[in-house]
């Protein structure tokens, strides 16, 4: 185990690192954006092939409308920072999966988004949905999936390059990718670290505010999720921060997010 930590450290120095937008946190980066986006495209197509897409035109339109507004805000933020190249290869796509029992949503690298209909009763309206999509899109643009993939390549495959890992251990590598981006074989959210979850909350508040959604709506949404989790923890809450901690953190971050808010 100690050798693995030494290896991860040496890889970090050798490969360099990327920086998360807004928070400025540095993260290990052994996987290129193009590699992650390519894997995401394949996985997304497979998911949509096996899933039942919603035929509720109003709900589908809402998911795509809110998603595109958040995506536009993300692009605006990166453009203002002179970092539009960070989104190279992104082809935004938003789909609503008809699954009323699954309280979930996720965004893959490259902007491939899925929302499960089971979360809509808790989002209630467009602003509640913006909380969810802001959070999930933030995971992607903060490159949390690539960070997790890098960590796992270092720990499990000795820092093997992704292309080599795919050719030598395709099944293992595909499983690592599914875990890294938060999508399992059944399309369910897996665990990001609590640090990454908190970071996605932070970025998500700002992106939804830039999109014209009131970030103050995040507090009642997470309160509803907390009440839901008392009896049956949704997959969406997998390894998320404790309810009270999350709400306190959001309250602390709201003044910053409100600076970006311009109602539409």
Element (H, E) at 96: strand 93-97
For the question of residue 136 being annotated catalytic, the response is yes
pLDDT digits (tens, 9 = 90+) for 49-59: 999 999 999 99
Q: Is the residue at 3 inside a domain? A: no
The answer to whether residue 250 sits within a structural domain is yes
What residue has token string 């809402």? Answer: 62
Domain assignment of residue 4, yes or no? no
Give me the tens of pLDDT residue by residue for the chain, a chain 264 residues long.
434 444 444 444 444 578 898 899 988 777 788 888 988 999 999 999 999 999 999 999 999 999 999 999 999 999 999 999 999 999 999 999 999 999 999 999 999 999 999 999 999 999 999 999 999 999 999 998 888 877 776 665 454 554 555 455 566 556 655 665 555 433 333 457 788 899 999 999 999 999 999 999 999 999 999 888 765 556 555 555 677 888 999 999 999 999 999 998
Identify whether 76 is part of a domain.
Answer: yes
Is residue 1 situated within a structural domain?
Answer: no
Torsion angle of the four alpha carbons 191, 196, 198, 199, in this order, in degrees rounded to the nearest 10: -150
Number of alpha helices (DSSP H) and beta strands (DSSP E) in the chain: 11, 5
In a domain, 91, yes or no: yes
Domain count, the chain: 1
Nearest CA to 11 out of 150, 200, 175 is that of 150
Question: Are the CB atoms for 69 and 60 separated by under 8 Å?
Answer: no
Give the pair of three-digit tokens for residue 234. 């949704």
Q: Does residue 264 lie within any of the structural domains?
A: no
Cα-Cα-Cα-Cα dihedral sign, residues 224, 227, 232, 238: positive
CB distance 11 to 28 below 8 Å: yes
Q: Is 154 exposed, middle or buried (0-12, 13-18, 19+ CB in 10 A)?
A: buried
Q: For residue 19, is it within any domain?
A: no
Range of the domain at 44: 31-258
pTM: 0.81
Of the candidates 35, 75, 93, 136, the residue annotated as catalytic is 136
């Amino acid at each position: 185990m100690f050798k693995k930590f030494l290896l991860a450290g040496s890889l970090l120095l050798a490969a360099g690192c990327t920086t998360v937008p807004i928070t400025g946190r540095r993260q290990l980066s052994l996987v290129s954006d193009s590699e992650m986006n390519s894997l995401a495209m394949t996985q997304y197509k497979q998911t949509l092939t096996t899933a039942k897409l919603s035929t509720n035109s109003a709900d589908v339109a809402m998911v795509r409308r809110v998603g595109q507004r958040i995506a536009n805000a993300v692009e605006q933020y990166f453009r203002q920072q002179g970092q539009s190249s960070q989104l190279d290869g992104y082809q935004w796509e938003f789909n609503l999966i008809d699954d009323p029992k699954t309280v979930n949503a996720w965004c893959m690298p490259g902007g491939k988004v899925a929302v499960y209909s089971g979360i809509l009763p808790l989002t209630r309206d467009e602003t509640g949905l913006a909380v969810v999509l802001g959070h999930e899109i933030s995971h992607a643009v903060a490159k949390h999936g690539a960070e997790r993939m890098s960590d796992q390549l270092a720990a499990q495959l000795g820092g093997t390059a992704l292309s080599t890992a795919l050719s030598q251990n395709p099944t293992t590598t595909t499983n690592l990718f599914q875990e890294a981006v938060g999508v399992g074989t059944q399309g369910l959210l897996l665990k990001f670290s609590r640090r990454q979850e908190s970071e996605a909350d932070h970025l998500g508040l700002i992106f939804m505010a830039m999109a014209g959604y009131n970030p103050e709506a995040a507090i009642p949404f997470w309160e509803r999720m907390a009440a839901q989790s008392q009896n049956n923890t949704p997959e969406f809450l997998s390894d998320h921060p404790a309810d009270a901690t999350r709400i306190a953190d959001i309250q602390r971050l709201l003044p910053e997010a409100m600076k970006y808010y311009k109602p539409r």
